[in-house]
Amino acid sequence: MAKSVLDAIKKAGGSTVATAVSQKPKERELWFREQLELAGLRLDPHAISAINDTLGNDTGRFPGIVDTLLSTYGTGKKLSYDDVVIFLGESGSTAPWHLTDAIDSGNTGEALKVLHRLMHAGEMHPLQVMVLLHRHFERFARLDGENVSSPADAMALLSIRSEFPARKAMQQAEKLGSDAIAQGIVLLADADVQLRGQRDWPEELVMEVLVARLSRLAGGARRNRAISRQR
């Protein structure tokens, strides 16, 4: 909504309500909680988290789940995780950056979980995921060895308009170091060739192995830097 319109609404004593659902997990979970309360449903925190974790960004399924819970339990009972989870079905889609965040943190289990959601619920082809990962590591490679001392420098080098992704790339490139970045580029190149038929592996297996290796690479780099600081 244009700023002039917002200013006019405020001047008239009105208010605005955000109807878009955030892709950030914590904000999205709060939105689910608010909508459940408006529907007259009471769920314990674990049940609400299960809805958030399972649906992800696939919020179009949420009204149907609310209707099902209302018709099954009514509004007189506080619903537990076990009451709710049987109606949730398969996991929904998630934002692509959740994959790169999980890889960067070295959380292999979470990275594989997000990968599956992107390729199944998100309907991303393995080659699309490869493009995402190539761009991610390409940023690290471009930053590596450059005299980048601030997010502004990183923004200029990477041609990024937002400070947040530039800062994240700058920090992760520093954590990985030149050797790990180079290894990551090699892993990506090998997986790309395998996807194009060099190895007789299912595409999903190729991506699972790649994501696991990239995640362990990031986790190993973080541990090595922690050990170096202790010496």
- pLDDT tens figures, 125-150: 898 899 899 989 999 999 998 888 89
Rg (CA), the chain: 22
Confidence at residue 222, expressed as pLDDT on a 0 to 100 scale = 63
How many other β-carbons are positioned within 10 Å of the β-carbon of residue 33? Answer: 17
pLDDT of 4 over the 70 cut: no
Range name among 30-34, 101-105, 157-161 with the lowest pLDDT average: 157-161
Dihedral (CA of 98, 99, 101, 105) sign? positive
What percent of the chain stands above pLDDT 90? 41
Per-range mean pLDDT, top range of 5-19, 81-95, 157-171? 157-171
What's the token pair of residue 228? 């170096």
DSSP state letters, 103-160? HHTT-HHHHHHHHHHHHTTS---HHHHHHHHHHHHHHHHHHTTS---SHHHHHHHHT-
> pLDDT tens-digit profile of 121-131?
767 889 889 98
pLDDT of 226 > 60? The answer is no
Residue 85 has what pLDDT?
83
58 or 33, which is more confident? 33
Neighbours of 53 (CB within 10 A): 17
Q: What is the pLDDT of residue 48?
A: 93
> pLDDT tens-digit profile of 19-55?
567 778 888 899 999 999 998 999 999 999 989 888 8
pLDDT tens column, 189-217: 999 999 888 778 899 999 999 999 999 99
Quick one: tokens of 70?
């209302």
First to last CA, the chain: 54
CA distance 42 to 83: 11
pLDDT at 173: 93
